[in-house]
Structures are given as structure tokens and as C-alpha cells.
Amino acid sequence: MTTPSKRIALVTGANRGIGLETARQLGKEGVTVLMAGRKEAAIQAAADTLAGEGLSVRPVVLDVVSEDQIAALAKLIEADYGRLDILVNNAGIITGESFFDNSTRTVSAEALRQTYEVNFFAPIALTNALLPLIEKAPAGRIVNLSSILGSLTVNRDFGSDWGGAKPLAYNSSKAALNMFTVGLAAALKDTPIKVNSAHPGWVKTDLGSDAAPLEVVDGAKTSVALALLGNDGPTGSFVHLGETLPW
């Protein structure tokens, strides 16, 4: 193994939407991006697209809820690169709910379990498995893709623009992810590693729908900025396009 001179990033859910655009923007900044996705054909096609744009990318198959696949990926990164500079926990779902309804009284236990598996348990498992490799980087960066809907402050403001958007499984999973961000940032406060939550905005994706006001290129900007933070940047913060958000 030759120690790479370029920064190495892993972006989950990178076959489409914000994840794909995050990989593209990091690649344009000279980062080698491991693009992770569940389906081999889909992630290979996405990687081929970015490689065709002259970017340094590599597709990797990863179902974020699979412990075996997480372990295998950690071994691959260790063997081929020796470290990981950037981890973007981008993969996420909403299931059994609508963004525009208050599902607190109706959400099913199954929807809660499925949402937490992908949006909360998986990022923790993946991050902890890869943390020894991130610790080998000169200045590791961990970005958790959250949502303004995970803000307790915003949810408590019943008159806010987001006041009617209360899908319980989704919102609470993102609030829990924010707690992971704060806890991990505190655990790593005496290291060069920075851990932050990103709110991408309401973006035109399969998840956000065509009703969203932001284009995908703008939705990726916050994750990319946090992934490329300088040594004077924040840690343990919740950010959207440079603005610190309320927890």
C-alpha cells in the first residue's frame, strides 16, 4: 500500500441526489471519493458518470445496515488507503410517513424501526467502525446529514414555516443523529477530528420532491463545506450554508 497524497472520502448514499452531488463537489476539490451505495449497478453507473467528468472516484457496495458489509469496507479502506480523511453519512430514508403530516399519533412501530436503522443506528455503526482510520488522517472530518426537522427548537415553534412538518420517525431520528454529533464531537474534542451535522435545505430529490425550492447542487454545499473545514472550523455544530442552526 502506498500512502495516498490526496484526501480520501467516503460518501454513503452516493448513487443519486445529494450524495451523488456531494461526491461530485468533493471530487472537484481534488478529493478521491469512495462512493457507497446498496446496489452495485446503480453505484457503478453513478461512479462512471463522475469518472467521465475527470474525477477520482471509486464505487463500493455498502448496505449501511449490514454489519458484515461495514466490516468488509473498513478492511478495504485500511488495505488500499491506510486512512480515511472524510466520512459523509449521507444515506437516509423516510418511510411510512409524509413530510407534511403530523404522524405522532399514527406512526407504526415498523416505520420507526426502519427509519432508525438507516438514519441513526447505521451512521453510528459505520462511524465507529471507520474511526480508527479517520484517526490516522491529519485532520479527519465527519459530516452527519441531518435536517432542520431534527431541531427540537424548530419543532416546538408551532408557528414556524416547518411547524406542520412533524413525521415522528424521521424528525426524531434526525434529532437523535444530532445528539450523536454532539456526543462524538465531545469525545474527540482533544483531537484534530471535527464532527458536525449538516442541514442541506429542502432540496429537489426523490426524498424532497419537485416541490422543494433548492436544486441538488445547493443541497450538497453544506456537507462539502463541513467536509473541507480548516483547522479553525467548528465542531459539534448544526449548520446550513454557513449558518449555525438551533438544536
Q: Which residues are catalytic, by number? A: 170
Residue 3 has a CB neighbour count (10 Å cut-off) of 8
Handedness of CA 44, 12, 143, 8 (dihedral sign): negative
Burial of 208 (0-12, 13-18, 19+ CB in 10 A): buried
The helix-helix angle for 40-52 and 17-28 (nearest 10°) equals 30
Measured in degrees and rounded to the nearest 5, phi and psi for residue 129 equal -70, -35
Contacts for 208-217: CB closer than 8 Å, 24+ residues apart: 216/17, 216/18, 216/20, 216/21, 217/21, 217/25
Question: Residue with C-alpha cell 442541514?
Answer: 199
* CA angle 195–200–206, rounded 5-degree value: 125
Query: Which DSSP category does 230 fall into?
Result: -
Q: How far apart are the first and last CA of the chain?
A: 42
Handedness of CA 20, 11, 113, 66 (dihedral sign): positive
Sorted by sequence, the CB contacts under 8 Å of residue 225 that are 6+ apart come out as 239, 241, 242
